[in-house]
A = this chain, B = another copy of it.
Amino acid sequence: MIGLMTPVDFSEMECSVARTLETIGDRWTILILRDAFYGVRRFEDFRGDLGVASNILTDRLQKLVDREILEKRQYEERPPRYEYRLTEKGQELLPVILTMMKWGDRWANSGSTPPVTLTHTTCGHVTEPVVTCSQCGEELRRRDLRAHPITVRGGNPSGELARAETS
């Protein structure tokens, strides 16, 4: 088996971010998922697009299958050919990918236009993902959020999330 116990077990942390990282907290894994969202399904296509070593790809795909993010299915018997498709659990990682994409467009793109634009077909416009409140629909800003319960050494007991430097 491949998945040895990680030296630090993030899954034991009482935090969903840590547990998410336990599942996808790896550069190649996230890039595999990005490709999967773009429609890539086959081993050789992942390998060719990402330039990842095939042993690493084997390992990551296997872990993603174990964690039910991807489903491996044989779509051809002779010769045996497989494809890896997103499960529902995997599909729901799309917001994570979208928010990373948006951040990278703004902050890690050396001033050029975004390499990939998204069109929202239901309204017909080029769109950007905005993270909003499920209750009122307003954009979620850190200063309007309180986290409960959270007991972090040095953390803010008011639940207020940290604000940016205004030096």
Contacts and interface: CB of A to CB of B under 8 A. Distances in A.
A74 to B, nearest CB: 12
B133 A130 contact: yes
Interface string A111-153: 0001111111111011111111111111010101111111011
B165 A144 contact: no
A108 B23 contact: yes
Given A119-B148, A159-B119, A154 B95 contact: no
Interface residues of A, number: 108
Counting every copy of the chain, the complex holds: 2
Given A127-B134, A136-B125, A153 B45 contact: yes
A85 interface: yes
Contact of A20 (B100, B125, B127): B100
Nearest to A89: B107
A49 B38 CA distance: 37
Interface in A15-62: 15-23, 25-27, 30-31, 34-42, 44-46, 48-49, 51-52
A89 to B, nearest CB: 5
A129 B140 contact: yes
A140 to B, nearest CB: 6
Contacts of A31: 10, 13, 15, 17-18, 21
Nearest to A105: B16
